[in-house]
């Protein structure tokens, strides 16, 4: 193990993530995993890693890092100012840095989440085959200011980059897609109409567990439910009428009625939106959702090819 990077400031916004923990719901443990998997995987590919290596997920970036050994580092995700030794550089690239280099990453406010990966991947405890950190469950690596982050071994890799125009399509300017799942049919006509035709505002209490939608009082059905398994993107409606879209760090089970499920690729889009953003939803069929997921996968493969061929 080798100390690579020192977190000088801004540690409170950082967790280590990968693609999440499967098959642990039997113990009541959350899935976790990168909230924006596309940006996460691209960060890894840009430093020559496999797509699922442990990387840093940074929310509302306002951090300073100091490089301790020669290393190749990549930056992806939300629009940010990236300053290395007082010079500004673009995201969606990797850079080979030397000891003493100072990185400053500052969020610009339009989206919230960035990923930082290093060649070789970060070293953090693997729990049930995953490095994902879940703060609420005290699982994974808690990072503090002045901590030194480690890798299994220091390595440098060829610098790679993505065409910024190619990844612009990840920011969608359309209603987010919701499939009519779970108790959708049990909601009143009026509740469904309010949900799908009105604009919602993202609540302040939103985090990696879920995003709260405020501004529309959606009445849940009266029926009592037994707690049941919750899918990524499930939209539960508690009695206070503010729906919650359940995301990566969600509880495994819940007993509130669910009006639908956000399609998986749009969960990343929603995760990236800051509090007070406005958002609309469109009901789509399951067949449409599957076709959309396949298109997203094709697009990711094209981006992957673009990184790997150069």
- Choose the stretch contacting other proteins; rule: CB under 8 A; options: 81-89, 195-203, 273-281, 289-297: 289-297
CB of residue 292 vs other proteins: minimum separation in angstroms? Answer: 8
Q: What does the alpha-carbon distance between residue 292 and residue 172 come to, in Å, rounded to a whole number?
A: 13
Q: Residue 62 has what DSSP assignment?
A: E
Given the complex with other proteins, which of 158 and 301 has the nearer CB atom? Answer: 301
φ/ψ of residue 176, rounded to 5: -80, 150
Q: What does the alpha-carbon distance between residue 97 and residue 191 come to, in Å, rounded to a whole number?
A: 54
Q: In terms of C-beta distances under 8 Å and separation of at least 24 residues, what long-range contacts does 293-302 make, across chains too?
A: 293/263, 293/264, 293/265, 296/38, 296/265, 299/169, 300/38, 300/41, 302/166
Site for other proteins in 64-123 (CB under 8 A): none
Give the other-Cβ count within 10 Å of 184's Cβ.
18
Contact between 294 and other proteins per CB under 8 A: yes
Site for other proteins in 2-21 (CB under 8 A): none
Given the complex with other proteins, which of 91 and 263 has the nearer CB atom? Answer: 263
CB of residue 155 vs other proteins: minimum separation in angstroms? Answer: 30
Q: Residue 120 has what DSSP assignment?
A: T
Instruction: List the one residue out of 111, 42, 3 whose CA is nearest residue 308.
Output: 42
Instruction: List the one residue out of 4, 7, 116 whose CA is nearest residue 55.
Output: 116
Write the binding mask 156 to 195 for other proteins: x where contact by CB under 8 A, - elsewhere: -----------------------x-xx-------------
Q: Residue 69 has what DSSP assignment?
A: S
- Choose the stretch contacting other proteins; rule: CB under 8 A; options: 74-82, 102-110, 166-174, 291-299: 291-299
Given the complex with other proteins, which of 26 and 88 has the nearer CB atom? Answer: 26
Are 201 and 277 spatial neighbours (Cβ–Cβ below 8 Å)?
yes
Give me 138's structure tokens. Answer: 């005290």
Given the complex with other proteins, which of 29 and 244 has the nearer CB atom? Answer: 29
The residue behind tokens 């969020």 is 107
Instruction: List the one residue out of 289, 296, 117, 114 whose CA is nearest residue 304.
Output: 296
CB of residue 279 vs other proteins: minimum separation in angstroms? Answer: 18
Given the complex with other proteins, which of 89 and 128 has the nearer CB atom? Answer: 128
Contact between 295 and other proteins per CB under 8 A: no
CB of residue 226 vs other proteins: minimum separation in angstroms? Answer: 4
CB of residue 172 vs other proteins: minimum separation in angstroms? Answer: 17
| From 9, 28, 85, 199, residue interacting with other proteins (rule: CB under 8 A) | 28
Site for other proteins in 198-257 (CB under 8 A): 226-234, 251-254
Residues that bind other proteins (CB under 8 A): 22-29, 31, 127, 137-139, 179, 181-182, 226-234, 251-254, 261, 263-264, 286, 289-290, 293-294, 297
């Amino acid at each position: 193990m080798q100390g690579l990077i020192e977190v000088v400031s801004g540690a409170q916004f950082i967790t280590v993530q990968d693609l999440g923990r499967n098959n642990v719901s039997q113990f009541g443990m959350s899935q976790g995993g990168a909230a924006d998997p596309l940006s996460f995987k691209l960060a890894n590919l840009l430093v020559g890693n496999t797509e699922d290596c442990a990387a840093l997920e940074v929310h509302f970036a306002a951090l300073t890092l100091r490089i301790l050994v020669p290393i190749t580092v990549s930056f992806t995700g939300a629009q940010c100012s990236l300053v290395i030794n007082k010079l500004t550089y673009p995201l969606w690239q990797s850079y080979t840095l030397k000891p003493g280099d100072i990185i400053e990453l500052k969020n610009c406010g339009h989206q919230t989440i960035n990923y930082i990966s290093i060649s070789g991947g970060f070293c953090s405890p693997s729990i049930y085959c995953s490095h994902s950190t879940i703060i609420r469950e005290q699982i994974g690596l808690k990072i503090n200011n002045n901590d030194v982050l480690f890798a299994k071994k220091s390595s440098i890799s060829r610098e790679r980059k993505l065409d910024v125009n190619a990844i612009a399509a990840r920011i969608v300017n359309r209603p987010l897609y919701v499939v009519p799942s779970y108790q959708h049919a049990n909601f009143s006509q009026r509740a469904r109409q309010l949900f799908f035709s009105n604009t919602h505002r993202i609540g302040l209490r939103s985090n990696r567990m879920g995003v709260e939608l405020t501004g529309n009082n959606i009445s849940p059905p009266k029926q009592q439910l037994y707690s049941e398994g919750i899918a990524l993107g499930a939209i539960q409606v508690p009695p206070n009428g503010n729906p919650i879209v359940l995301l990566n760090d969600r509880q495994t089970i819940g007993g509130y009625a669910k009006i639908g499920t956000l399609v998986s690729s749009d969960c990343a889009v929603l995760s990236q939106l800051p509090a007070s953003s406005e958002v609309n939803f469109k009901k789509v069929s399951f067949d449409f959702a599957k076709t959309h997921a396949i298109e997203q996968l094709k697009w990711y493969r094209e981006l992957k090819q673009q990184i790997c061929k150069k």
